[in-house]
Structure 1
Amino acid sequence: MSAEHPPFPEDVPTHPLLVIDYELIKAGNKHEIERLWTAGTTLGFWYLKNHGVDEEVNGMFDVGAQTVALPFEEKMKYEQGDEGMSFGYKAAGANVVDASGTKDTTQFINIATDDALAWPVQARRSYPSTVNAHMASTIIPFVEKSLAVNSTLIDVFDAKLGLPTGTLSKLHRKGEFSGSTTRCIYSPPILNRQATAISAHTDFGSLSFLHNRLGGLQVLVPGTEEWQYVKPLPGHAICNLGDAMVIFSGGILRSNLHRVVNPPGAQGSIDRYSLVYFTRPADSVVLRALTDESPLIADAVTHASDPKRFNPGVTALEWLTRRVKNRRAVNQKGLGAWLDSGGTEHTMSGS
């Protein structure tokens, strides 16, 4: 896909993110590690440069475009369904973006990490021909590199939280099925420039590794009521923490509300593609604050206004399934389903 796009406008509200250098993180640079910790404990979002995945990202954008271009009937053979499965194709209008039941405008294909790592054996489900054709050459290298990046960053948080070495890594063990996913997303231009393409949400899992070429991503900064764009920077990924890391850390780490709207300015008149890798805990992992493993986390939970929110009593699979299922349009039977699709955004105030 061509990387030539209209420039991001300079007259819209943007939120500056810390730029973290992945090479410095890998080298154990203490100053850079402190900056990552600051990002993770404030907004939970940061830019990541020197991550080394640009070539694979370019290939994945092509996979997304080729998949979207398939006939609708062909794509629907691989639809996710309405019971909370995360993997497969999602058609435009299959999800809702608000409590009123407004349908979304995005298409995406979710490729299970379990399937990529087991290829050519089918671990979770089948995929369109455009995915299969690029699995070995593009998708598997992207998954492997993304896994390495996210695992390195998670290890930093492991140490900063005072956990025994490898605690968080064990919760994301490779030998067990998980909801970890590669997602290729397509959003067409929206005639109503104020409409939402992807609803306000926190991410379901642990760490998201996002690649954008156009604007559209917005964050709601804590303590404000104004949505602000996150400007895409060439060669920089955007990383953000998800619900699982909030719960594991007893609220020390943050999973912030974000959404996707039409890109601003001239960018809003062209097709928007994006790519994200989601690292999520192993399916059987029970989501709970790791108070027994870390005095720092134990203290945070003790002083939280509602400690019970850090022990939801469900597995990572149950958490993911609930959230995915209750965003499906067909499952909207009133306000209850919409509220049941929520994550830690409903519980993080006052921590």
Structure 2
Amino acid sequence: MVWHLPPQWPAIASRTHFCSGCCFSSSVLIFSVAISRWRSASMMILSRLSSQLGLTGASRFEAHHADPGPSLSTLGLLRYPKHDKSAADATAAPRNVGHNKHTDVGSLTFLLAAQWGLQYLSLTTKRWEFIEPPAGHAVINVGDSLRFLSGGKLASVVHRVVPLRRQTQDEDRYSIAYFLRMNDGGVFHDTTGKAWTANDWHDFKFGVFKNPSALDAKGRFLTGMMMEESDKLEGGEVQIAVTA
């Protein structure tokens, strides 16, 4: 999903900066305004999706995200350090750069990025496809909890971040992401029928991010149960180590 940003939003992003002293309160205000607008847009999307799926009352998606919360929704500035391979290492796959394949933990993700590197797994071609950074737009992902709440009618997006060119990423890559997550204690059922609270799923999956080989050897939880061990990707895939 690609969302056209209102004219004032890019201006807010361009004025975002980190400083101290007298500027701190101004920076906090900028972030507060941005978070408020992203949340409002997210709730509007949830409302439209609920209506399209014929949901009513407490079963509507926005009911699981209603104020006053609390929730683990958050705004993040993501940095992927540059990577320049030596001539001696020119044939090896990149390591310690980008982000492994995964789905997002929460409900909706608003992503702003001006640089290439984001890929999604096409359910049609079974291949990794680059997403062109859309100027003046945000990329919106459906996350795990919204998929489970919808009973699988909405699909989580399996995605990753890799260098545009296989051998190099010659500059740091930055993106800003707003992660809308369910209210703490909200309950959903995964594809096996197991019940999770939003908190438990969040904490478990972040544990998987830190130690996937021990907690998720088959990669089922990293991909929100969107990919099974039997799934085959055309042309294989490069495994990218998660940056610490």
Q: TM-score range by the shorter chain?
A: 0.7 to 0.9
Distance 1:144 1:232 in 2: 23
2:29 is equivalent to residue 137 of structure 1? yes
Structure-2 residue corresponding to 1:186: 79
- The alpha-carbon deviation at position 200 of structure 1 amounts to 0.4
Q: What do residues 153-204 of structure 1 show as CA deviations (whole Å, max 9, x unaligned)?
A: 1111010110015721110022122111101011122225953511100111
Are the structure 2 counterparts of residues 146 and 154 from structure 1 closer, same or farther at C-alpha, using a change threshold of 3 Å? same
Q: Can you list the C-alpha shifts for 1:43-87, whole angstroms capped at 9, x where unaligned?
A: xxx211144522222234x34xx7xxxxxxxxxxxxxxxxxxxxx
Aligned residue for 2:236? none
Which of 41, 52, 64 lines up with 1:160 in the alignment?
Answer: 52
* Contact kept in structure 2, 1:53 and 1:146, CA below 8 Å: no
Structure 1 alignment gaps of length 5 or more: 1-45, 67-127, 289-307
Letter in 1 for 2:4: K
- State how many pairs are aligned: 220
> Please, which runs of 5 or more residues in structure 2 have no aligned partner?
232-244
Corresponding residue number in structure 2 for 1:10 = none
Counterpart residue identity of residue 320, structure 1: H
Are positions 1:258 and 2:159 aligned together? yes
Q: Given the superposition, is the C-alpha separation of residues 277 and 222 from structure 1 closer, same or farther in structure 2, using an over 3 Å criterion?
A: same
Aligned position for 2:125: 224
The one-letter code of the counterpart of 2:47 is D
In 2: Cα distance, 1:50 partner to 1:341 partner: 30
Partner residue in 2 for 1:170? 63
Q: Report if the CA contact (8 A) 1:322-1:340 is conserved.
A: no
Partner of 2:3: 48
Name the one with the larger helix percent: 1
In the alignment, is the contact (CA less than 8 A) between 1:202 and 1:344 conserved in 2? no
Alpha-carbon distance in structure 2 between the residues aligned to 1:260 and 1:174: 32
Structure 1 333/168 Cα, relative in aligned 2: closer, same or farther at 3 Å? closer
Q: What amino acid is aligned across from residue 197 of structure 1 in structure 2?
A: G
Residue aligned with 2:33, SS: helix
Q: Is residue 38–residue 178 contact of structure 2 (8 Å, CA) maintained in 1? A: yes
Whether the aligned pair in 2 keeps the contact of 1:327 and 1:341 (CA below 8 Å) is yes
Pair 1:343-2:224 in alignment: yes
Tell me, yes or no, if structure 1 residue 311 matches structure 2 residue 193: yes
State the distance in 2 between where 1:242 and 1:59 align: 29
Quick check: which one's strand share is greater? Answer: 2
Tell me how far apart the structure 2 counterparts of residues 333 and 153 of structure 1 sit (CA, whole Å): 36
Corresponding letter in the other structure for 2:15? G
Root-mean-square deviation (CA, aligned residues, Å) is 3.2
The 2-side partners of 1:274 and 1:209 are apart by: 10
| Alignment-mate amino acid for residue 162 of structure 2 | V
Q: TM-score if structure 2 supplies the norm length?
A: 0.78
Higher relative contact order structure (alpha carbons within 8 Å, sequence separation ≥ 6):
2
Is structure 2 residue 35 aligned with structure 1 residue 146? no
TM-score normalised over the length of structure 1: 0.56
CA shift in 2, pair 1:247/1:55, >3 Å: same
Query: Could you tell me how far 1:224 is from its partner in structure 2?
Result: 2.7
Alpha-carbon distance in structure 1 between the residues aligned to 2:213 and 2:225 = 20
Q: Who is 2:186 aligned against?
A: 285
Distance 1:185 1:318 in 2: 24
Contact 1:326 1:338 (8 Å CA) reproduced:
no
Superposed counterparts of 1:118-133, under 5 Å: none
1:184–1:274 CA contact under 8 A, matched in 2: yes
Report the residue type matching 1:159 in the other structure: S
Answer whether contact 1:327 1:338 (CA < 8 A) is retained. no
C-alpha separation between the residues in 2 aligned to 1:337 and 1:228?
22
Distance 1:268 1:175 in 2: 42
- The CA distance in 1 between the partners of 2:31 and 2:55, in whole Å, is 32
Please state how far the C-alpha of 1:332 moved relative to its aligned partner.
5.2
Tell me, yes or no, if the aligned pair for 2:102 and 2:222 is still in contact at 8 Å: no
CA distance in 1, matches of 2:71, 2:12: 22
